[in-house]
Amino acid sequence: MTRVISFITGIDQASRTHPGRGVNKSWHGASHHGNVPTSIMGFHEINTYRLSQMAYFLERMQNTMDGDASLLGKTEIV
């Protein structure tokens, strides 16, 4: 059996903001930073958070056993 998933950290056109990260713009809105340093940092904060979700997912896979090996050990990531 082959298991296949797609992992998405967010929908880029969504209007979700990240106030917990100190950013009140959506990912797409923040991507139009206009080379303003504070806006660039806001965009960076959103991307850092989204990438941290991938790290969290991989850690969970590493700690989840599937028979004799971790789920991550039995997974190919492309």
Is residue 11 a part of any domain in this protein? Answer: no
Is residue 7 a part of any domain in this protein? Answer: no
Indicate the number of domains in the chain: 1
Is residue 3 a part of any domain in this protein? Answer: no
Q: Indicate the residue type of 58.
A: L
Is residue 13 a part of any domain in this protein? Answer: no
Of 5, 37, 44, residue with least CA distance to 23: 44
- What is the Cα–Cα distance from 23 to 39, expressed in whole angstroms? 9
The predicted-structure confidence for 53-67, as pLDDT tens digits, reads as follows 889 999 999 999 999
Question: Which residue range(s) make up the domain with 41?
Answer: 19-74
Is residue 9 a part of any domain in this protein? Answer: no
pTM of the full structure: 0.74
Is residue 48 a part of any domain in this protein? Answer: yes
The predicted-structure confidence for 11-50, as pLDDT tens digits, reads as follows 777 888 878 778 889 889 999 999 999 999 999 999 998 8
